[in-house]
Amino acid sequence: MLLNDEVQLLRKVPYFCRVDPCKLKLLAFTSDRVLYEPGQVLFTQGESSDAAYVILHGTVDLLTRSSGEDLKIGEAGCNSIIGEMCLISNSLQAVTARAATEVEALRITKDTFFKVIADNPRMSLEISRTLAENLRGSRYDGTNRIDHHVL
């Protein structure tokens, strides 16, 4: 995939929709493209976080551990970002993210994520706006989908 294609995909993510295309090009260039087969884990509940993932293709199940079993509490698909809240809050992963299908993602390291935020105050505003919208809206809509931005 060309760098310009990645920039266009990043613009579809709420946090990045109003970020300068040059900054997105730098973000795409400094991030790693990763592939996961169904069943592979992107990150595990309780682990420290070192990256966020923008899902380019495929579906990721979001799971929580309860009574020794993994329970699906949601899913993330194309153009969504997961793991970013743990970066922002410097906390442990709240869920396990496991590929439900073949997944192609852009892995954005903590350092890269914060550099883009520092270089683009507008992104801080977009993160705050997205968080507020998620808190105001319904997190669970009865279809076993949860708003992944709050995780």
The confidence score (pLDDT) of residue 124 equals 78
Q: Is residue 91 part of a domain?
A: yes
Q: Is residue 129 part of a domain?
A: no
Number of domains in the chain: 1
In a domain, 59, yes or no: yes
Task: Give the model's pLDDT for residue 108.
Answer: 94
Give the model's pLDDT for residue 92: 92
Quote the pLDDT of residue 151: 47
At 104, which CATH number?
2.60.120.10
73 within some domain: yes
Question: Domain range holding 59?
Answer: 32-110
Quick one: which of 82, 94, 89, 85 has its CA closest to 47? Answer: 94
Asked whether residue 12 is assigned to any structural domain, the reply reads no
Going by their DSSP bridges, the two strands 51-57 and 103-109 should be labelled as antiparallel
First CA to last CA across the chain, in angstroms? 28
15 part of a folded domain:
no
Q: Is residue 46 part of a domain?
A: yes
pLDDT value at residue 1: 61
> Residue 2: inside a domain, yes or no?
no
Per-residue pLDDT 10s for the chain (151 aa) are 677 888 888 888 888 887 888 888 888 888 999 999 999 999 999 999 899 999 999 999 999 998 889 999 999 999 999 998 888 888 999 999 999 999 999 999 999 888 888 887 777 787 777 777 766 764 444 444 444 444 4
Alpha carbons 134 and 114: distance in angstroms, whole number: 21
